[in-house]
Structure 1
Amino acid sequence: MSSPVIGNSTLANINGAAAQSSTTGVDSGSELNDRFMTLLVTQLKNQDPTSPMENSDMTAQLAQINTVSGIEKLNDSLSAITDQIDAGQALQATALIGQGVMVPGNRILVGSSDGTDGVVTTPIGVELDGAVEDLQIDIRGASGEIIDSFSTGPLSAGVHSFTWDGKLADGSSAAIDGTYTASLTGTVGDDTYAPTALNYALVNGVIQGANGAQLDLGYAQDPVALSEVRQIL
């Protein structure tokens, strides 16, 4: 059976209402339901009396109305859950203010030790997907040259952190307030690879943006998401 024909004037009225609604924003579920019901009633009024709409056709259109309403309710529920997750992450992030964390990066900062002529350095870390027989750590200067190296020996999978003593290969101390980088090389059998390097950062605050809560790590490093924290020191 062919579908009932809706007159041009009726279609114009419905489309006109839709166009007017689109200028004010996205239709709500109740507005969409009203438009569906208007269309259904219009079809019933304009159907051929000798060939009325079958029950299956009406059931299908009513099912469409319920589907639209259900999708809107689902979207509202997901939006509420997302808001709760964002709020929970922001609360967790604020607990890290003032604490040191290990996040992806390879930077090492050097400072002076209070009351001594020695130096202190920020930790360097690694995130291993699997165990390694050895991990080689090369400390590099501003020009990329290797100024010191050391090995850790065997390490299991997971996150590990280390501290460079701030000594150069010739025994002298690294420059105060200098910035260095670390290159990591893991060894497994005859194979070598570059695992994920981690560096230390101090959490100064929390930034709430479109992508959720992010940790403010100061001028030396871009903000990172809470999920980027690999270790809390």
Structure 2
Amino acid sequence: MENVSNPGLEALYWKEQETARAASPDDQKLSQEDFFKLLTSQMSMQDPTKPVENDQMIAQMTNFTMAEGITQLTDEFRGFAESMTSNQALQASGMVGQKVLIPSDMAYLNGERPIEGVISLPQTGQDVNVRIKNEAGEVVHTINMGQMPQGQHTFEWDGTLADGSKAPSGDYIIEASGRVGGQSEALPALTYGLVESVSMGGARGIVLNLESIGRVDLKDVIQITNGG
């Protein structure tokens, strides 16, 4: 079988190769305009004995259009995601100085603000109490709440000890219990923490840095209230 060559097409090919080698990575990207120029050249310089079939031409155009569309869509979604993250970070930055309620049994006493938290009762409970322990595990204060109905109930401790003195600043552990349904059981505790700063946590999203407590994901925050 005889091979048919086209000098014009070969010249165009080598010219394109030299240009591609000299171009920067961005210049080597094929735009829609470049694609149609090459397609037009291909049609004008094709072997007349073996013209490009319509199906082949349509397939080339479809593949290029789909690839360009996917790239554009990806860029748009990336831009949208970056915009959303920036907006979230901007909104979260307004939380600095605010208190957030989180599912944690750790609380911080700094001598200026009381320890505050919430306990949750699945149903009416009796002999409900909250014990506050220091870092050594010693109970330094007990809040007797008695009988409490189903729901969430707040508690507060200003650091005053039984002898009237003030407890030192530091981390304290919260434990709550009561008789529910006739049986004594531990009750889940939530505590408030002060937001000192906000940062981006990569895959974690927005992360709040709480006084003494540390890093907490924004999605884990149950309630936001004035720092006061």
TM-score under structure 1 normalisation?
0.60
Deviation, structure 1 residue 66: 0.8
2:93 paired residue number:
94
CA distance in 1 between counterparts of 2:180 and 2:48 reads 82
- Deviating more after overlay: 147-156 vs 56-65: 147-156
- Once residues 156 and 100 of structure 2 are traced to their aligned partners in structure 1, the CA distance between those partners, rounded to angstroms, is 14
After superposition, residues 26-105 of structure 1 pair within 5 angstroms as: 31=30, 33=32, 49-105=48-104
Go from structure 1 to structure 2 and tell me whether the alpha carbon gap of 1:232 and 1:58 turns closer, same or farther (over 3 Å shift): same
Q: Note if contact 1:132-1:187 (Cα within 8 Å) is conserved in structure 2.
A: no
Question: Contact 2:131/2:139 (CA < 8 Å) preserved in 1?
Answer: yes
Unaligned runs of 5+ in 1: 1-9, 114-119
Mapped pair 1:231 → 2:220: no
Q: Which digits, 9 at most, give the CA deviation of each residue in 1:104-129, with x for residues without a partner?
A: 4321223547xxxxxx6321236x7x
Distance in 2 separating the partners of 1:71 and 1:221: 44
The 5-angstrom pairing of residues 191-206 of structure 1 reads 195=188, 197-206=189-198
Distance 2:170 2:140 in 1: 13
Equivalent of 2:199 in 195, 207, 212 = 207
Paired amino acid for 2:190: L
SS at match of 1:72: helix
Tell me the CA shift for residue 86 of structure 1.
2.1
Query: Aligned AA for 1:63?
Result: T
| Aligned residue in 2 for 1:3 | none
Higher strand share: 2
SS in 2 for 1:142: coil
The C-alpha deviation readout for 1:51-80, integer Å capped at 9, x for no partner, is: 543322221221111111111221222122
Q: 2:150 is matched by which residue type in structure 1?
A: L
8 Å Cα contact 2:197-2:210 kept in structure 1? yes
Matched to 1:202, the amino acid is L
User: Percent identity of the aligned residues?
Assistant: 30
Of the three residues 154, 166, 169, the one matched with 1:177 is 169
Aligned equivalents of 2:177 and 2:39: distance in 1? 69
Q: Secondary structure at the match of 1:204?
A: strand
2:115 to 112, 119, 122: 122
Computing the radius of gyration from Cα coordinates, the structure with the larger value is: 2
Please tell me the root mean square deviation across aligned C-alpha atoms, in Å. Answer: 4.7
Q: Structure 1: how far apart are the matches of 2:103 and 2:21?
A: 50
Across the two proteins, how many residue pairs are aligned to each other?
Answer: 209
